[in-house]
């Protein structure tokens, strides 16, 4: 295996050869990713035996909750599942059902518990069905306790730090009747070269970093995703080059706080420098990224975005609150004035950029005046769209024990008022390109009207226009005829 040590990101057929060459009569190797290749071969054998007994292929289904980071993790899980012989099916009537969970807000957890009840009824009809739970919610000890006590029919529980071990965990589950639990508190490990099955052939998420060091006082992410670690820039560029060779034209660089990329590398590098390297990749047409923390957004990044031909004209810049008092309690490390100055700087450099944001309403201690500060920022910045959230108390975070938690009625009233403002402005902002001809990346056929294709503008808005499926994955020029709220109807030109 020595020849592999310095190569990263293998093509599928190369990986296949290595898996095939694994010797199951020997112990599993200790080194990663070789160890996982060994377990992939082992899993394949076990799954083949089961499927021969049943006289049909084994099926699997993954449901993903939460953010794009989880979506990318699920693509990795599907990549391994397909490689070991499962056939992916669209619903939970499957031999192996996996929920990749989110825990950023309480109702995400409640949804998972609700759906587990339904899975239990399916499992009663299909006794060899396996149920696996992974993702952020599993990193919370009280969740695992509850699952052990009240949901003993679950077969496999693992967390966010060890999904690379999925093949190994599947083998353990297939060989055991007990609930397999493998949760790590944190890791500094990044394992490259594992299979991934992309949802779209023409676009892909690319992890550039994992974890978060910011500890915003309301947020559970640093506790469940661990400390910040950046991937080596060479691995990132190599992955994107491979993706481009495989038909990808757009990448979404993923990290909880991409603006602090590279700080912990042996040879530190900034996010702006990474973008400059990625820009050079021939054949790559569009670059997106998320999420940007306002405190770390540099002048260098604004300059690179301004001069780039590939970076999309869209920035997601979470505000969370417009009140400097609340921002301080949130541990965001910027205030209202700094945020507005930053927006001003970005808009001066890149006037046609779309800005979107996240806002939390009802953080502990939020007064009507604080709330009005948030509305004021929304009116000043004029976001294209905003995700608005009702504050959700996450046990274990500093905000959960803060005084003056805001009552439900007050929060709901503020939330509705904010939504109204955000939507009115969003509609006006979205319509500003009506009549222009702009480039879209064609993504899919419209599910309601087969004559229509759906494409995405650089600024992330969707456009529906007449066309056929041969356009999927291509960049087309489309005239934006009419804006309907948050999307356009258009006509393909040329």
Give yes or no for residue 135 binding ligand SF4 (CB under 6 A): no
Nearest in space to 109 (alpha carbons), one of 150, 62, 65, 72: 65
Q: Give the separation between CA 472 and CA 201, rounded to whole angstroms.
A: 9
The Cβ of residue 396 has, within 10 Å, a number of other Cβ atoms equal to 12
HSE-CB for 175 with a 13 A CA cutoff: 12
- Give which of ligand SF4, ligand 5AD, none residue 394 binds (C-beta under 5 to 8 Å, depending on kind): ligand 5AD
Q: What is the CA radius of gyration of the chain?
A: 24
Site membership for ligand 5AD, residue 360 (CB under 6 A): yes
Binding of residue 212 to ligand SF4 (CB under 6 A): yes
Q: Among ligand SF4, ligand 5AD, none, what binds residue 113 when CB lies within 5 to 8 Å by partner kind?
A: none
205-234 binders of ligand 5AD (CB under 6 A): 218-219
CB of 59 or CB of 256, closer to ligand SF4: 256
Task: Rule CB under 6 A: say whether 214 interacts with ligand SF4.
Answer: yes
| Contact pick of 200, 389, 486, 487 for ligand 5AD (by CB under 6 A) | 389
Sign, CA dihedral 272-278-284-287, equals negative
Distance of CA 348 to the CA centre of its chain: 30
Does 293 sit near ligand SF4 (CB under 6 A)? yes
Q: Does 216 bind ligand SF4 (CB under 6 A)?
A: yes
CB of 218 to ligand SF4, least distance (A): 7
Size of interface with ligand 5AD, in residues (CB under 6 A):
12
Query: What is the number of other CB atoms lying within 10 angstroms of the CB of residue 356?
Result: 19
> Minimum CB separation from ligand SF4 for residue 429, in Å?
24
Residue 25: phi and psi, rounded to 5, are -80, -15
Q: Smallest distance from the beta carbon of 223 to ligand SF4, in angstroms?
A: 9
Q: Does 219 bind ligand SF4 (CB under 6 A)?
A: yes
Instruction: Give the closest residue to 10 by CA, choosing from 253, 250, 267, 245.
Output: 245
> x/- binding map, residues 25-64, to ligand 5AD, per CB under 6 A?
----------------------------------------
Contact yes or no for 57/87 (Cβ under 8 A): yes
Q: What is the 3-state secondary structure (H, E, C) of 84-118?
A: CCCEECCCCCCCEEEEEECCCCHHHHHHHHHHHHH
Q: Binding partner of residue 215 among ligand 5AD, ligand SF4, none, CB under 5 to 8 Å per kind?
A: ligand SF4
Bridging pattern class, strands 130-135 and 96-101: parallel
Residues that bind ligand SF4 (CB under 6 A): 212, 214-216, 219, 221-222, 256-257, 293
Contacts to ligand 5AD by CB under 6 A:
104-105, 218-219, 318, 320, 358, 360, 389, 391-392, 394
């Amino acid at each position: 295996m020595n020849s592999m040590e310095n190569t990263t990101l293998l093509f599928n057929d190369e990986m296949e050869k290595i898996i095939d060459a694994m010797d199951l009569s020997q112990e599993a190797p200790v080194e990663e990713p070789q160890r996982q290749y060994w377990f992939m071969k082992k899993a394949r054998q076990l799954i083949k035996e089961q499927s021969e007994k049943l006289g049909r292929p084994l099926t699997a289904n993954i449901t993903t909750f939460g953010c794009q980071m989880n979506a990318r993790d699920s693509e990795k899980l599907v990549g391994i599942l397909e490689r070991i012989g499962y056939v992916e099916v669209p619903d939970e009537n499957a031999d192996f059902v996996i929920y990749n969970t989110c825990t950023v807000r309480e109702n995400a957890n409640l949804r998972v518990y609700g759906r587990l009840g339904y899975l239990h009824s399916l499992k009663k009809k299909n006794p060899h069905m396996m149920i696996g739970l992974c993702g952020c919610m599993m990193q919370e000890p009280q969740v695992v306790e509850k699952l052990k006590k009240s949901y003993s029919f679950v077969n496999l529980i693992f967390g966010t730090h060890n999904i690379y071990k999925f093949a190994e965990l599947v083998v353990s589950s297939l060989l055991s009747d007990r609930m397999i639990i493998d949760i790590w508190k944190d890791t500094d490990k990044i394992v490259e070269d594992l299979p991934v099955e992309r949802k779209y052939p023409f676009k892909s998420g690319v992890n550039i970093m994992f974890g978060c060091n910011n500890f915003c006082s309301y947020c559970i992410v640093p506790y469940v995703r661990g400390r910040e670690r950046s991937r080596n820039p060479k691995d990132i560029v190599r992955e994107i080059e491979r993706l481009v060779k495989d038909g990808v034209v757009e990448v979404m660089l993923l990290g909880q706080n991409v603006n602090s990329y590279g700080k912990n590398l042996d040879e530190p590098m900034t996010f702006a420098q990474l973008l400059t390297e990625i820009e050079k990749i021939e054949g790559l047409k569009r670059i997106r990224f998320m999420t940007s923390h306002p405190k770390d957004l540099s002048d260098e990044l604004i300059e690179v975005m301004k001069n780039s031909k590939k970076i999309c004209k869209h920035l997601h810049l979470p505000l969370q609150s417009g009140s400097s008092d609340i921002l301080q309690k949130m541990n965001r490390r910027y205030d209202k004035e700094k945020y507005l100055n930053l927006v001003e700087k970005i808009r001066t450099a890149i006037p046609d950029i779309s800005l979107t944001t996240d806002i939390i309403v009802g953080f502990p201690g939020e007064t009507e005046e604080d709330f009005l500060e948030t509305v004021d920022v929304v009116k000043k910045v004029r976001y294209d769209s905003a995700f608005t959230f009702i504050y959700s108390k996450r046990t274990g975070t500093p905000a959960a024990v803060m005084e003056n938690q805001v009552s439900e009625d007050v929060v709901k009233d503020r939330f509705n008022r904010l939504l109204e403002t955000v939507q009115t402005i969003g509609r006006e902002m979205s319509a500003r390109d009506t009549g222009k001809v702009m480039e879209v990346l064609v993504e899919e056929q419209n599910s309601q009207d087969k004559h229509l294709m759906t494409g995405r503008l650089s600024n992330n808005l969707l456009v529906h226009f007449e066309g056929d499926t041969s356009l999927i994955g291509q960049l087309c020029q489309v005239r934006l005829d009419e804006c309907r709220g948050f999307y356009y109807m258009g006509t393909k030109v040329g």
